[in-house]
Every structure is written in C-alpha cells, then in structure tokens.
Amino acid sequence: LYQRAGFWLYHLIALIIFITLVTFHKHQEKLKTDERYARRLHAPARARKGIKEAQRLLGQEKSGAFFDCVHKTLSGYLADKLHLPAGGVSIDAVKEILTAKSIDGEILDKLTNIFNACDMARYAPLEFDKPKREAIFHDMRKVIDFLERKKV
C-alpha cells in the first residue's frame, strides 16, 4: 500500500490541510489576544473606506462634512497604526511619535496642515474652495500611503 502514489498523495494533502488549519487558528488567536496587532492589521482597510467617503464628499459642496470625514479617517488611521486611544490623537502626540520613528519632515508638515485645516473648517465658520479641499484630500492620501509603505 505504501508504494502507491495515491497513498502518499492522500497523506500529503492531509498534512497540508492540517498545517493550514493550525496556521489559521494561530492567526485568529493572535487577532483575539493582541489588540495592537489587530488594530494595525485593520487600519488600512478602515482608511480606504474613509478615503472613499471623503472622495464622495469632495464632489459635493459640503465642506464641513468633507473635513469631518477627513479628520475622522486620518485620526482613526493614526490611532490604529500608532496604538493610541481614539480621543488621544492630537497633532503634537502624533508628531512626537513619528519624529521618534524618523519620519520625513515633509510628511509631518502635511499632517499638520491637514489637521489645522480640519480644525478651522470644523470649528470656524469658514468654507474652503474646491481646490483647497482637493489639496487636503491629496495630502491625506499621500500621508496614508507613505505611512503604509514605511510600515510605521
């Protein structure tokens, strides 16, 4: 029986299935027990959803809703990526962490500009024109893409 190819193929398939199930189980356990790992893993998907929503709002003339979405997306992404509490994301805290990780000053400047523009649009009666909103949207995408490539 052991000289037949089917015998060995059957055992090879069973071994592959076993290894796959063990690996999947370990991954699920890590997601349940390691909050930092789970947040880092889900951060890009949440950011993509926020970017799509911001892009939809960019086409409309709702400046306040657009900046709310940008702020929520960027602060949520940074909170998940840097393992900060959602309410504890401030530009100072983020800059301190990213500076310690040797992040480029241009990215930090863009991040500061985005947060300042969001605060001005959300708390002051200002309406930003479409080119300004497009620049903020483009900068937000650049910052998220950079941080994803850098694996912060």
CA distance 95 to 43: 18
CA 95 from chain centre, in angstroms, equals 17
- Per-residue pLDDT of 37-67, as tens digits, reads 999 999 999 999 999 999 999 888 778 888 9
Mean pLDDT in residue range 1-13: 89
The mean pLDDT of 7-27, rounded to a whole number, is: 96
> What does the radius of gyration of the chain's CA atoms come to, in whole angstroms?
22
Q: How confident is the model at residue 9 (pLDDT cuts 50, 70, 90)?
A: very high
pLDDT in tens, 101-145: 888 889 999 999 999 998 888 888 777 888 888 999 999 999 999
Q: What is the pLDDT of residue 73?
A: 94
Q: What is the Cα–Cα distance from 76 to 108, expressed in whole angstroms?
A: 17
Residue 90 backbone phi and psi in degrees, to 5: -125, 160
Digit-coded pLDDT (tens) for 103-114: 888 999 999 999
